[in-house]
């Protein structure tokens, strides 16, 4: 067994790396576990980030590396291993990874969430080149252009309304004949002139060389296939939090997110959750970084009150 550390952070995206920076400033003996060995989290796959204060027109990879560089400069220790389990015994947290056992007095889970993909041809190849999963992150790049939104829940409806403010036209493609989202949002979408709703349909292929320029759309009822000329497609069919490993140590909501508020405190004393995997309204880099800072404040209070 390794030495008992003050804190282990699982995950090295913006939430985990910010937590590491704040932990080192607080004088906590900290280990960050990152199975990728690179750091940066989801953001490294984003073509450009244009909404993080102070970092203008930075691409996602460079931004992720800046987070990692800052944490490394602070003296953060990293372990590039894959976590296989977590338990809590006698006020200590045990993290199991690659046949090793890591022990700490507190734990921050910051493994993030992944956007649910359509799994169709062209999606992965054109990710970040017109294929996006975050309208508020990337919508500004498509002003006066034609875009499509895929989905029928609140997020898809909100994305369509958000994009309609700047895009010349927005197709909203939904596989059913009615929306699952709130009626008030659905009504606003129907009233918005530059949103065209495509019911009973699914996108079967995303096409483009270097960037998206059209999609194939199949009508589920008739089987007919049409092509739509677009510049970008925003996929809003849900997210899957990376929390399966932790379901036995912290309480999850019905969608699998860890129940934790702005203080990042979970149902289990000494275990905290930061970033996209916790229950929250907005999941972006800036809110993930904020979680990292808040989590360390809660960790410090936890230690002070023991």
**Per-domain residue ranges of the chain:** 4-114+239-304, 117-235
Q: Do domains 4-114+239-304 and 117-235 have the same CATH topology?
A: yes
The mean predicted confidence, pLDDT, of the chain is 94
Per-residue pLDDT, averaged over 24-43, amounts to: 90
147 is catalytic: no
* 134 is known as an active-site residue: yes
Compute how many other C-beta atoms are within 10 angstroms of the C-beta atom of residue 268.
17
Bridging pattern class, strands 30-33 and 271-273:
unpaired
Write down the architecture of domain 117-235 according to CATH.
3-Layer(bba) Sandwich (3.50)
- CATH architecture assignment, domain 4-114+239-304: 3-Layer(bba) Sandwich (3.50)
- Average pLDDT of span 245-266: 96
Confidence of residue 60 (pLDDT cuts 50, 70, 90): confident
**Which among 50, 62, 138, 291 is annotated as catalytic?**
138
| Closest CA relative to residue 66, chosen from 26, 39, 48, 31 | 39
In the chain, at which residue ranges do the beta strands (DSSP E only) sit?
4-10, 30-33, 77-79, 83-89, 92-97, 100-109, 113-115, 131-132, 146-150, 169-173, 195-198, 201-207, 214-219, 225-229, 232-235, 239-241, 271-273
Tell me the per-residue pLDDT of 130-149, one tens digit each, with 9 for 90 and over. 999 988 788 989 999 999 99
Q: The pTM is what?
A: 0.77
Q: Which two tokens stand for residue 163?
A: 């994009």
Residue 39 has pLDDT above 60, yes or no: yes
Q: Where are the alpha helices (DSSP H) in 179-305?
A: 183-191, 285-304
Q: What is the pLDDT of residue 47?
A: 65
pLDDT computed for residue 209 by the predictor: 93
Which residue among 34, 50, 99, 134 is the active-site one? 134
* Catalytic one of 6, 29, 34, 137: 137
């Amino acid at each position: 067994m390794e030495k008992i550390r003050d804190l282990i952070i699982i995950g090295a995206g913006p939430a985990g790396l910010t937590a590491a920076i704040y932990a080192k400033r607080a004088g906590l003996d900290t280990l960050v576990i990152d199975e990728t060995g690179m750091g940066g989290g989801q953001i490294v796959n984003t073509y450009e980030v244009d909404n993080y204060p102070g970092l203008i027109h930075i691409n996602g990879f460079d931004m992720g590396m800046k987070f990692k560089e800052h944490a490394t400069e602070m003296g953060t220790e990293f372990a590039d291993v894959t976590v296989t389990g977590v338990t809590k015994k006698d006020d200590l947290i045990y993290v199991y990874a690659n046949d090793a056992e890591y022990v700490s007095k507190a734990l921050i889970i910051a493994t993030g969430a992944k956007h649910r993909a359509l799994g169709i041809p062209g999606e992965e190849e054109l990710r970040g080149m017109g294929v996006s999963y975050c309208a508020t992150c990337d919508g500004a790049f498509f002003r006066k252009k034609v875009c499509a939104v895929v989905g029928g829940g609140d997020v898809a409806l909100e994305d369509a309304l958000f994009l309609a403010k700047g895009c010349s036209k927005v197709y909203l493609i939904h596989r059913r004949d009615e929306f699952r989202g709130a009626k008030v949002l659905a009504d606003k979408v129907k009233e918005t002139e530059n949103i065209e709703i495509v019911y009973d349909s699914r996108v079967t292929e995303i096409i483009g060389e270097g960037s998206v320029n059209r999609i194939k759309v199949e009508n589920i009822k008739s089987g007919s296939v049409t092509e739509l000329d677009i510049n970008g497609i925003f996929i809003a069919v849900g997210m899957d939090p990376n929390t399966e490993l932790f379901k036995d140590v912290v309480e999850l909501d019905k969608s699998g997110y860890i129940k934790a508020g702005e203080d990042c405190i979970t149902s289990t004393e000494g275990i905290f959750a930061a970033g996209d995997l916790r229950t929250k309204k907005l999941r972006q880099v800036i809110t993930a970084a904020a979680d990292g800072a808040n989590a360390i404040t809660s960790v410090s209070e936890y230690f002070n009150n023991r």
